[in-house]
Amino acid sequence: MIRKVSLFGPDGHYHGSLHEQGQLTVYDPNGNQLQGMIDNNGNINLQGDDGIYHGKLSGNKISIYSPNGDNITGTIS
């Protein structure tokens, strides 16, 4: 089952999908792809062109920090 991811940061709307194995793909407002995983403890690591994004999944809420410290938050549905 693929779940939709919707996030908002200071630069706009991020969207993507979470796959069954914990694989997470997110596109930033400019269309750049961030690719990574959510582990069994809810830790998120994404690789983007501008560096590593890290964060946490809690229930259906996501909080991610960009390499420059911007907080990007949203939900998985």
* Nearest Cα residue to 15 out of 24, 3, 5: 5
pLDDT at 48: 96
pLDDT at 60: 96
pLDDT at 1: 85
Q: Which residues of the chain have pLDDT under 50?
A: none
pLDDT at 58: 97
- Rounded CA-CA distance 10/31 in Å is 15
Q: Going by C-beta distance under 8 Å and a sequence separation of 6 or more, which residues neighbour residue 33?
A: 25, 26, 27, 48
